[in-house]
Amino acid sequence: MTDSDLLELEVGPVGHGGFCVARHEGLVVFVRHALPGELVRARVTEETRTYLRADAVEILRSSPDRVEPPCMFAGPGRCGGCDWQHATPAAQRALKADVVAEQLRRLAGIDRPVHVEEVPVPAVYTEDGEPLSAPPGFGWRTRVQFAVDPEGAVGLRKHRSHDLEYVDECLIAHPGVEMIGIERKRWPGASAVEGITSAATGDRLVVVSEPKGRRGRPPQVPQLDVPVRLVKPERPGQGPREGRRPVVPFVREEAAGRLWQVTGSGFWQVHPGAADKLADAVLEALQPKPGDIALDLYCGVGLFAGVLGERVGPRGLVVGVEAGGQAVRDAKFNLKDLPQVNIEQGKVEEVLAALEFGQSQGRSTARTQVKRGQEAGHRGGSRVRGADITVLDPPRAGAGEKVVDEIARRTNRKIAYVSCDPATLARDLKYFSARGWVLETLRAFDLFPNTSHVECVASLVRG
- Enumerate the active-site residues: 420
Distance (Å) of CA 103 to CA 53, 265, 427: 20, 31, 9
Q: Note whether 193 and 206 are within 8 A (CB).
A: yes
Determine the residue type at 125: Y
Angle at 376 between CA 370 and CA 379, to 5 degrees: 90
Question: CA 383 to CA 386: how far, in whole Å?
Answer: 9
Q: Fill in the amino acid letter for 234.
A: E
Reduce the DSSP state of residue 322 to 3 states and report it: strand
Q: Can you spell out the DSSP letters for 241-304?
A: PTT------EEEEEETTEEEEEETT----SSTTHHHHHHHHHHHHH---TT-EEEEES-TTTHH
The DSSP output letter for 79 is B
The DSSP-derived string for 112-154 is ----EEE-PPPP-B-TTS-B----TT-S-BSEEEEEE-TTS-E
Query: How many other CB atoms are there within 10 angstroms of residue 406's CB atom?
Result: 21
